[in-house]
Amino acid sequence: MSGRSEALPRPVVAPDVALAGRLFEELRRRTSASRGVSRASYGLGEQIAHDIIRREAERLGLDMAADPAANLHVVLPGRLEGPEIVIGSHIDSVPMGGNFDGAAGVLLGLSVLAGFVGAGVAPPCPVRLMVIRAEESAWFGASYIGSRAAFGKLSAAELDEVRRMGDGVTLGAAVAAAGGDPQALAAGTAVLDPASIRLFLEPHIEQGPVLLERGVPAGIVTGIRGSFRYRQARCLGAYAHSGATPRGDRQDAVLAVARLAVEVDEVWARREAEGEDLTVTVGQIATDPDEASFSKIAGDVRFSLDVRSAEPATLAAVREEIDAIVARIETRDRVRFELGRLTASEPARMSPAVVSALGAAARAAGVAHIEMPCGAGHDAAVFAREGVPTGMVFIRNAHGSHNPDEHMELSDFAEAARLVTALLQDPPPPR
Ligand SMILES: [Zn+2]
């Protein structure tokens, strides 16, 4: 059944943006920290947020249930049964974070569901709002805990060994304290079956400046960048006197790392000019505070290197280029690099069918938008890797994210909510 081609006009369903506005304020008030908000994964702030959503879902008369990971599932029945659309995001935050990262996606889902309830209209297929636990790795040092758990992919070792920053509570104990069932999780119990999900959609604030610069309220994400990182890389040269050591005798680790930073930046510039998706960042760089001095050539520099791309082939090629650059600098500057342990994540492709359905919904609703890659990790990547057709909608946001200055206009949120409402009224056919 296609809503667009029918003679009957589509019923008017408007998301309840005022409800979302009130709940953003309540969330800010009740989870504020010395700076910004703090909603610890499986902690007090996250629980307050879950209780607010639970209260509002109850008021709307929607069925809900918590799963063994204490994720909250709120269900709006459709006109027909069958594979459902899942809208989800997290509602924890980093310590002293912003009010919108995560919460915007959850409240967008709730405002859209409230719109259907308020209009007395059922969407074509069931819609599930999933309030996902513990997405931020800041607390447990592990990512996507709630969404991985929903697919039965949390390991028993993680539950026993991973501990929360600050209070040292194990993940298993924290899950139990939130009303979850760590034994069921350790046994690999899944509550979501990828085959029974029509599509997964994660609305989220944009964490960079692209939508602001382009002057549009909404972005349709084409893919989530994967990455490889050398978090604890090191360059070893030789300490020597700054005045007494001739140019040709130096083994300057600072200079070598500086050369590396410039050369990988040139790799980025060249590949970007050729149309490839890539970011390269040296985010940390330090000499040994005890041994280095203004009057010494540095013999030991620690640094990090973070490379991201939406394309696996680009990541592989850049890794090879970095190895070649390192070898060249080692010979030239007579230093030795120890890049250390490599951590990596695969890029996650958004479903072309979902991307094009979102584009059609945006045009139907008259929402200005662009297509763009996503540079940060999200629960959506877990769904995509499970084979669920997945999409993300970005909402324009100033000052980045993970900080108290995140700034999303409610009018932009409303545009994204209208886009999602239009998609639910005319979803792409099931797989
Ligand atoms: Zn987030």
Q: Distance from the CA of 139 to the center of ligand 1, in angstroms?
A: 13
pLDDT, residue 11, reads 75
* Stretch 130-155: mean pLDDT: 94
From the CA atom positions of the chain, what is the Rg in Å? 24
Kindly indicate the confidence band of residue 142, based on its pLDDT and cuts at 50, 70 and 90: confident
Query: Residue with structure tokens 């709730």?
Result: 110
Q: Distance from the CA of 135 to the center of ligand 1, in angstroms?
A: 7
pLDDT, residue 1, reads 44
Task: Flag whether pLDDT at 109 surpasses 90.
Answer: yes
Q: Distance from the CA of 76 to the center of ligand 1, in angstroms?
A: 24
Kindly indicate the confidence band of residue 8, based on its pLDDT and cuts at 50, 70 and 90: low
Q: How far apart are CA 198 and CA 204, in angstroms?
A: 20
Average pLDDT in the chain: 95
* Stretch 420-427: mean pLDDT: 96
Q: How far is CA 44 from CA 16, 30, 57, 74, 379, in A?
A: 27, 10, 20, 21, 21
130 alpha-carbon distance from chain centroid: 15
pLDDT, residue 7, reads 52
For residue 416, which amino acid is it? A
Q: Distance from the CA of 339 to the center of ligand 1, in angstroms?
A: 29
Q: Distance from the CA of 275 to the center of ligand 1, in angstroms?
A: 27
Please work out, in degrees rounded to the nearest 5, the angle formed at the alpha carbon of residue 90 by the alpha carbons of 84 and 94: 170
The residues with which 402 forms a beta bridge, in sequence order, are: none
Model pLDDT for residues 225-263, shown as the tens digit of each residue: 999 999 999 999 999 999 999 999 999 999 999 999 999
* Stretch 136-149: mean pLDDT: 93
Percent of the chain exceeding pLDDT 90 equals: 93
Q: How far apart are CA 123 and CA 44, in angstroms?
A: 34
Buried b (16+ CB within 10 A) or exposed e, 158-175: bbeebbbeeeebbbbbbb
The first and second tokens of residue 231, run together, are 């978090």
Q: How far apart are CA 261 and CA 284, in angstroms?
A: 11
Q: Distance from the CA of 71 to the center of ligand 1, in angstroms?
A: 15
* Stretch 183-199: mean pLDDT: 96
Q: Distance from the CA of 371 to the center of ligand 1, in angstroms?
A: 19
Q: What domains can be seen in the chain, in order of their start residue? A: 3-225+347-425 (3.40.630.10), 226-345 (3.30.70.360)
Buried b (16+ CB within 10 A) or exposed e, 318-348: beebbeebbeebeeebebebebeeeeebebb
Q: Distance from the CA of 203 to the center of ligand 1, in angstroms?
A: 9
pLDDT, residue 346, reads 87
pLDDT, residue 3, reads 45
Q: How far is CA 418 from CA 71, 290, 299, 366, in A?
A: 25, 57, 58, 9
Model pLDDT for residues 329-349, shown as the tens digit of each residue: 999 999 999 999 998 888 999
Model pLDDT for residues 280-324, shown as the tens digit of each residue: 999 999 999 999 999 999 999 999 999 999 999 999 999 999 999
pLDDT, residue 15, reads 98
Kindly indicate the confidence band of residue 2, based on its pLDDT and cuts at 50, 70 and 90: very low
Model pLDDT for residues 62-76, shown as the tens digit of each residue: 999 999 999 999 999
Give the closest residue to 111 by CA, choosing from 359, 370, 395, 360: 395
